[in-house]
């Protein structure tokens, strides 16, 4: 999400890395997320456990106890709870977040320049994988 925020600035220093480094990073992240998800449906509404024992903290309703670090009953506890409840990692789908920020970069550069200078340099297979992930969002 941090990289997507950098992309949305439209700065050439960031966008020149879009076609290779950033797209590959995003493909790896999308793959890792898919790999940790259990395909089978569970009967209850709680998230399925990761097959690798990973804790997907963005799926928890409550922050882990250590997140609050003995701040219960203080303004700091309330602040941490508010931050946790509004954290984009928990509240936004990654594909939607990335798609929004790519559109912002495109708007900052202009669609024609964005296509010619940055997207056209991406491997077509990688670009189609990114587009497929963003379409699922």
Which tens digits make up the pLDDT trace of 30-73?
998 888 764 434 445 555 555 555 566 667 778 888 888 889 99
pLDDT above 90 for 79:
yes
pLDDT above 60 for 25:
yes
Q: CB–CB of 122/7 below 8 Å?
A: no
Percent of the chain with pLDDT over 70: 84
**Contacts of 29 by beta carbon, 8 Å cutoff, 6+ apart:** 94
Distances (CA, A) of 102 to 63, 129, 130: 30, 15, 11
The span from the CA of 8 to the CA of 5, in Å, is 5
Q: CB–CB of 118/19 below 8 Å?
A: yes
* Mean pLDDT within 81-106: 93
- Position 48 scores a pLDDT of 58
Domain parsing of the chain, residue ranges: 2-37+90-136
User: Which residue is it, tokens 């931050």?
Assistant: 83
């Amino acid at each position: 999400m941090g990289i997507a925020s950098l992309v949305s600035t439209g700065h050439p220093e960031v966008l020149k890395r879009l076609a290779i480094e950033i797209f590959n990073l995003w493909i790896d992240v999308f793959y890792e997320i898919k790999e940790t998800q259990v395909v089978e449906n569970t009967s209850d509404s709680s998230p399925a456990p990761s097959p690798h024992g990973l804790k997907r903290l963005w799926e928890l309703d409550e922050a882990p106890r250590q997140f609050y670090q003995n701040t219960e009953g203080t303004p700091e506890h309330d602040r941490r709870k508010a931050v946790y409840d509004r954290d984009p990692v928990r509240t936004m789908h990654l594909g939607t977040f990335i798609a929004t920020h790519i559109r912002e970069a495109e708007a900052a550069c202009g669609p024609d320049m964005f296509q010619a200078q940055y997207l056209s340099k991406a491997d077509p297979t990688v670009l189609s994988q990114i587009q497929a992930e963003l379409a699922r969002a």
